[in-house]
Amino acid sequence: MPAPSTPTARKTYRHGDLRRALLEAGIALARDGGPAAVTLREATRRAGVAPNAAYRHFASQQALLVAVRASALSAVARAMEDELAALPTDLSPADLARARVRAVGTGYLRFAKAETGLFRTAFTLSDKLIQATPEWPTAGPSGRNPYELLCDAVDGLVQAGVMPAAKRPGAEILAWSAVHGLAMLVVDGPLAAPVGPHFEMFGQRLLDMVERGL
């Protein structure tokens, strides 16, 4: 059996190219295997350079993982914004407010299902990574990160008169906890088998419950 081929080492990179190549390799590793799969050694192998070359751009495996996590969070925000952009434009203020809450939740759940490895990388964190990563370090095209998009949607419920202002404090935490809980129970928990094939249906029912509860 022939030996596995080894990527040809690149001799030169334009400014920034190697960092981008390493980051893209790290994202691909996370997509396939979650945060545990993101290693500098494998990223450099995929980029076609010697391991020592990586340290000019990422001082440690943790530094690469922090950058990959930032990209994963940005991808979550884009998924949420895609759902928001698809909303009808002729809804009443109250219906639009409800639809925006549902859209951010739907985008979050669909990303968890479609990009399980990146979802784990974005939200399954070690203590060291939490300490090393600025809170919500990146954002989607609108400049809003996932948490801000959720807060905006919940604020809209109050502005449209759907939710009393007295119930607003902390409402985004309750909504996020419920939606994230379902995602994790399906992605990495005991609900993978019973709920997985019906994830979309259960997700929408959960969002109904969240909307009524808020």
Cα separation of 163 and 156, whole Å? 9
Count of other CB atoms within 10 angstroms of residue 38: 26
Cα separation of 211 and 207, whole Å? 6
Domains and CATH numbers, the chain: 70-213 (1.10.357)
Q: What share of the chain is helix, strand, coil (3-state, %, to 5)?
A: 70, 0, 30
4 secondary structure, DSSP code: P
**Mean pLDDT score, 37-41:** 93
Cα separation of 201 and 206, whole Å? 9
Count of other CB atoms within 10 angstroms of residue 195: 16
Cα separation of 143 and 125, whole Å? 23
Cα separation of 172 and 186, whole Å? 21
Report pLDDT digits (tens) over 150-169.
999 999 999 999 999 999 99
- Contact assessment for residue 96 and residue 160, using Cβ atoms and an 8 Å cutoff: yes
- Both tokens of residue 81? 């914004």
SS3 of residue 188 by DSSP: coil
User: Taking each helix axis from N to C terminus, what angle separates 93-114 and 171-187, rounded to the nearest 10 degrees?
Assistant: 30
58 secondary structure, DSSP code: -
Spatial neighbors of 131 by CB under 8 A, at least 6 apart, are none
- Contact assessment for residue 183 and residue 114, using Cβ atoms and an 8 Å cutoff: no
The residue ranking higher by pLDDT, 1 or 136, is: 136
- For the chain, the farthest-separated pair of C-alpha atoms sits apart, in whole angstroms, at 70
Indicate if the pLDDT at residue 181 is higher than 70. Answer: yes
Report pLDDT digits (tens) over 57-109.
888 888 899 899 989 999 999 999 999 999 999 999 999 999 999 999 999 99
Q: What is the model's pTM?
A: 0.86
The confidence band for 4, taking pLDDT boundaries of 50, 70 and 90, is: very low
Cα separation of 30 and 124, whole Å? 12
